[in-house]
Amino acid sequence: MEIRRFEERDAQAVSALIAKTLRTTNIQDYSSEFIENEVKVLTPEYIAWRASWTHFYVVCEGESIIGCGAIGPYWGSETESSLFTIFVLPEHQGRGIGRKIVETLERDEFALRAKRIEIPASITACAFYRKLGYDYKNGVNQVEDEGLYRLEKYIKG
């Protein structure tokens, strides 16, 4: 298993990975309509755009991309960052790959300069992120209008 920076040629595979994960894993917490609307947005072009302003990573096993995640500035802030687009193919979940992605993101320069990291977390992934030390932003443990929790972690330093 290798974690490396995203390359533009990865966009199609990453988009397909996200669609499969949403349709297989996240479907337990969201309606089919919600999932399909997300899939329509998370196109290869969107992934390439996100990678243009974040540090986007992919997890490879052989020639296959099995996971992904990104970190970028929180609304342009120099002292706050956000995690985005963290997905692991369903057949590879439960192997610690998601944890390795988050650990990689937390070692990235966007994390190292941050005093706070925020995650817009799906209902499906909320408990996972909470195990990694993220907590509800401002103590609000309800999903927002877009169907996500806002989680955060303050970095000591």
How confident is the model over 51-85, as pLDDT tens digits?
999 999 999 999 999 999 999 999 888 899 999 99
**Model pTM score:** 0.94
2-154: CATH number:
3.40.630.30
Domain residue limits, the chain: 2-154
Task: Compute the distance between CA of residue 137 and CA of residue 43 in angstroms, rounded to an integer.
Answer: 29
Query: Which three-class secondary structure state does DSSP give residue 113?
Result: coil
Contact 84, 49 (CB under 8 A): no
How confident is the model over 76-128, as pLDDT tens digits?
888 999 999 999 999 999 999 999 999 999 999 999 999 999 999 999 999 99
